[in-house]
Structure 1
Amino acid sequence: MAETKQESPLHVVVFPWLAFGHIIPFLELAEQLARRRHFVTFVSAPRNLAKLRPVPGELSPRIRLVSLPLPAVDGLPDGAESTADVTPEKVELLKVAFDGLAGSVASFLAEACASAGRDEEGHGKRPDWIIIDFAHHWLPAIAERHGVPCALFLIFPAPYVAFVGPKAANDAHPRTAAEDFTVPPPWIPSPSPLAVRLYEGKRIARGFLRPNASGVSDMSRFWETEQRCPLLVCRSSRELDGPVCDLLCDIYGKPVVPSGLLAPYDAAAHAGVGDSNDEEEASAAGLIMRWLDAQPARSVIYVAFGSEAPLTPALVRELALGLELAGVRFLWALRETSGDGLLPDGFEGRVAAAGRGMVRVGWVPQVRMLAHGAVGAFMTHAGWSSLVESFLFGHPLVMLPLFGDQGITARLMAERRVGLEVPRDDGDGSVARDDVATTVRRLMVEEEGEAFARVAKELQQLLRDRERQEGYVDELVHNLLKRRNK
């Protein structure tokens, strides 16, 4: 990585939303900053910090973990600190608890600024920046009182950030009905594929535009946060996202700096090593690895839908029966709140007896699974973090997008011929087992699967150009240094 000349290292506070799909790329960014000899204070709830993989030893002096306990909220399970701890319908209560951190954050920042001098170095130096997430609409005002600028780090791919657009563009071209989202927004040059299906538009109108239990809609959170941040950072690269990266600056009217894809290179390099300190989790991982070791090379499709996927009983049933119909080997990682009692009667026993399938309900070390030689494809919700992990190992994709940015991302990946999207009913988004089976077989069994595998390998080479990816972080650091308060 390039050396960055500077008078003094930065002290950056990094504070992600309470979902591991956000926490992990924020941690990757924190480690990249620490590798460049800057100091990072990483903030989250206590249990989330305890679940993080260990920071590499040479970086640990530069990364300080600060835990802020969440306030109790009626209806939120005890100990729930991330989206992985709750069912999808209770995520809005997690946002209520998250907003309750405003007082703790204000106290933390006041102390950090009062006890620090600008001439100090390390974590004793007053923060130069706070890097925040989409949900932090209340934090920029707190930071402004202390003269600390905020940067909004968007972990979503650049095309989705363009599709959402800033508040001013949406005010000029209102989108309130589901149908409004099924065509590209007018601020995107034509022709453009940036649109969603009708069932996805319904979810945006219902779930993102309307206030939830916190009293604020997700879209309002994003818009309020974005408006008060002088710098936006997007988890993207020009090689993958093309001209959309540069278009974002015009759309948002401010600097939008790509961070690169922030792939988990260190985790991939140590993928054969156990990465859980929990005895039960380590035992489960060992069982999975032994099962994979017994399978032929590239014969297994790994199935996982992230830490906050809204899997309904009907969807789980059709997925299960579709995988069984496909007749291919599979490893299915189900989050606990999705797997409890939702699988069809006798399903696990049948696929296990046939030697074709394994289901693990609970934690699974995903990078280790994707790195295993028996895995030949990935069935995914097309969450950006999961796709970046998959790119590292060159796996073609079967995609079943579930919410947010995933539909647009899946369509762009399908257009790029790195994988296939499972067909869904346009009106209600329902999935049929026959379509699951057909899509899986096209990728895993039919001859056309080889073409998808070739494109996946091309993306692997792109992502493994680590020098180029590191260059994006150097560009980001240059912007943070240039714009920090003097």
Structure 2
Amino acid sequence: MKKIHALILPFPAQGHVIPLMKLSNQLSEHGFKITFVNTEYNHDKVVASLPKESNSKENNIHLVSIPDGREPGANRRDFAKVFDSILSSMPSYLEVLIREINESSDDRITCVIADEHMGWAVRVAKKMKIPVAGFWTAAAGLRTVHLHLEQMIETGILNSDGLPTKQQMIHLSPEMPAMNTDHFAWNCTGDSIVQQSMFRYISSNARDIKDADWYLINSVYELEKSTYPLNPNLLPVGPLLATEQTRLRGNFLAEDSTCLSWLDQQPARSVIYLAFGSTTIFDKNQFHELALGLELTGQPFLWVVRPSLIDEQNDAYPDGFQARVANRSRIVSWAPQQKVLAHPSIACFVTHCGWNSTMEGVAMGVPFLCWAYFCDQFLNQSYICDVWKVGLQLNKNDGGIISKEEFITKVKTLLVDKMIRARALEFKEISTKSVSEGGSSKINLSNFIESVKSK
């Protein structure tokens, strides 16, 4: 049987790199050789965050990079320029990389697995006559939106620039959660230039991805049944989880694993775990309000406060806060989240509702307290609170702040809600079954691997 050498390309954001790295680890365990392609900017962050005993070539996974078309010191949060430079520069860089690999060894690239947010890579692979899979890193519900942009323009929900003709809640299928048109990804930016650039980018990818040979998603069929009729040939292979053998995790920040020994010292189901992903930013008022809310709950807590979480770094915490909570808290810059969520001391997960966090929380059976920040996170929040009923939503007051009173009330309600905990454990069982022998995701991944090998 021929050796499979897969080139894997994530969109250059933390929430996209991590699930594709998890997929890479699973494929490597099935004998795949992996070339994992980050942008140069992100490659440097991933390599810098690796544990000391690791290197950039582990488990038959080789980390490489290509330019993103931006200058080294350019602002990667200038999204309009990022989207435009990706489309204009990266296809040619990817083609050059594949040619160099194929000409320098007998180990030619035999398939490409491209993040669907890098749909242009399908064109590159097809040009080079390489089979290609699209991989969706978010909920199937969000993918449904992207696949139906033309129909939404034709029916007058959106204008030709992707702007809602009016703010409304829409159902793309009767069973799917209602979606607010103002929460579509490109409408969350508040900047018309970024909005137009992002909409062009999403539309272009949605067209390009239609030519892929396979479609994979980090989801569970049983969690989103109603979306699959609107997503032909989409194979859910989630939840994608790290294993004990996983050395490369794709983190942009080094994990602080010392928090696990701190968790060992806490009572069962007592700790509030808070993590808001890689892009959420709080202003000082909201950060203070959350800190005071945490203090007043009286519960032990583990809080991930990455360096860019607060827009003002000086005197970030309320006066005396850290000293007052020192005996029942741990604050880290990045955590081994899957291990944290699996720990018996965790009582609930306060989250921005990114899809990776959603999948990990569901897989570990942890009740959620939802603090959606932007874009697809509102859809994920709807799944958690309204469809699966495994969590509660935090609501802003008239001033746009989630108050300490709201936080305390919802934490106390969640911790005593036996129905939510029972539902969370039920969904954990569904997720575990899906990736076990005979489960839907396990079968889908096996079928994909066999199909790749037969190409």
Q: Secondary structure at the match of 2:174?
A: coil
Establish whether residue 349 from structure 1 lines up as the match of residue 327 from structure 2.
Answer: no
Alpha-carbon offset, residue 130 of structure 1: 1.4
Q: Distance in 1 between matches of 2:44 and 2:67?
A: 9
The answer (yes or no) to whether the contact 2:396–2:402 under 8 Å persists in 1 is yes
Partner of 1:423: 395
Alpha-carbon offset, residue 195 of structure 1: 0.9
Establish whether residue 256 from structure 1 lines up as the match of residue 256 from structure 2.
Answer: no
Q: Distance in 2 between matches of 1:170 and 1:441?
A: 41
Give the aligned residue type for 1:257. Answer: L
Partner of 1:412: 383
Partner of 2:224: 241
1:312-391 superposed matches below 5 A: 312-339=283-310, 340-341=313-314, 343-346=316-319, 348-349=321-322, 351-352=324-325, 355-360=327-332, 362-391=333-362
Partner of 2:442: 470
Instruction: Find the partner of 1:112 among 101, 104, 110.
Output: 101
Alpha-carbon offset, residue 376 of structure 1: 1.6
Partner of 2:215: 232
Alpha-carbon offset, residue 208 of structure 1: 9.2
Give the aligned residue type for 1:106. Answer: E
Give the aligned residue type for 2:371. Answer: L
Alpha-carbon offset, residue 248 of structure 1: 1.2
Establish whether residue 10 from structure 1 lines up as the match of residue 10 from structure 2.
Answer: no
Question: Does the C-alpha gap of structure 1 residues 319 and 134 become closer, same or farther in structure 2, counting only changes over 3 Å?
Answer: farther
Which segment drifts farther, 152-161 or 461-470?
461-470
Q: Distance in 2 between matches of 1:155 and 1:181?
A: 27
The answer (yes or no) to whether the contact 2:288–2:318 under 8 Å persists in 1 is no
Partner of 1:223: 206
Establish whether residue 460 from structure 1 lines up as the match of residue 454 from structure 2.
Answer: no
Q: Secondary structure at the match of 2:179?
A: coil
Q: Distance in 1 between matches of 2:108 and 2:153?
A: 37
Give the aligned residue type for 1:67. Answer: S
Question: Does the C-alpha gap of structure 1 residues 471 and 227 become closer, same or farther in structure 2, counting only changes over 3 Å?
Answer: closer
Q: TM-score, normalised by structure 1?
A: 0.78
Give the aligned residue type for 2:314. Answer: G
Q: Please give the per-residue CA displacement for 1:51-100, whole angstroms capped at 9, x wherever unaligned.
A: 3579999x9464333233555527536xxxxxxxx6xx445555566554
Q: Please give the per-residue CA displacement for 1:336-364, whole angstroms capped at 9, x wherever unaligned.
A: 011423734325335425x343333x222
1:25-40 superposed matches below 5 A: 25-40=19-34
Q: TM-score, normalised by structure 2?
A: 0.82
Instruction: Find the partner of 2:405 among 413, 431, 434.
Output: 434
The answer (yes or no) to whether the contact 1:335–1:363 under 8 Å persists in 2 is yes
Q: Please give the per-residue CA displacement for 1:99-143, whole angstroms capped at 9, x wherever unaligned.
A: 544443221122234456xxxxxxx34323211124425433333
Q: Which runs of 4+ in 1 moved over 6 A?
A: 53-57, 275-278
Which segment drifts farther, 205-214 or 291-300?
205-214
Q: Please give the per-residue CA displacement for 1:383-421, whole angstroms capped at 9, x wherever unaligned.
A: 111122223332111111112221111111112221111
Alpha-carbon offset, residue 378 of structure 1: 0.8
Q: Secondary structure at the match of 1:220?
A: helix
Alpha-carbon offset, residue 380 of structure 1: 0.7
The answer (yes or no) to whether the contact 1:302–1:378 under 8 Å persists in 2 is yes
Question: Does the C-alpha gap of structure 1 residues 110 and 380 become closer, same or farther in structure 2, counting only changes over 3 Å?
Answer: same
Q: Distance in 1 between matches of 2:15 and 2:154?
A: 32
Instruction: Find the partner of 1:67 among 48, 65, 68.
Output: 65
Instruction: Find the partner of 2:16 among 8, 22, 42.
Output: 22
Instruction: Find the partner of 1:195 among 169, 173, 179.
Output: 179
Question: Does the C-alpha gap of structure 1 residues 56 and 473 become closer, same or farther in structure 2, counting only changes over 3 Å?
Answer: farther
Q: Secondary structure at the match of 2:244?
A: helix
Question: Does the C-alpha gap of structure 1 residues 223 and 19 become closer, same or farther in structure 2, counting only changes over 3 Å?
Answer: same
Q: Secondary structure at the match of 2:34?
A: strand
Q: Distance in 2 between matches of 1:17 and 1:48?
A: 15
Question: Does the C-alpha gap of structure 1 residues 276 and 214 become closer, same or farther in structure 2, counting only changes over 3 Å?
Answer: closer
The answer (yes or no) to whether the contact 1:76–1:93 under 8 Å persists in 2 is no
Structure 1: gaps of 5 or more residues: 1-6, 78-85, 117-123, 250-254
Q: Across the two proteins, how many residue pairs are aligned to each other?
A: 437
Alpha-carbon offset, residue 235 of structure 1: 1.6
Q: Secondary structure at the match of 2:273?
A: strand
Q: Distance in 2 between matches of 1:25 and 1:335?
A: 20
Q: Secondary structure at the match of 1:349?
A: helix
Q: Please give the per-residue CA displacement for 1:16-39, whole angstroms capped at 9, x wherever unaligned.
A: 112222112101111222222233
RMSD: 3.7
Q: Distance in 1 between matches of 2:23 and 2:112?
A: 13
Q: Distance in 2 between matches of 1:264 and 1:330?
A: 24
Identity %: 23
The answer (yes or no) to whether the contact 2:80–2:193 under 8 Å persists in 1 is no
Q: Secondary structure at the match of 2:361?
A: helix
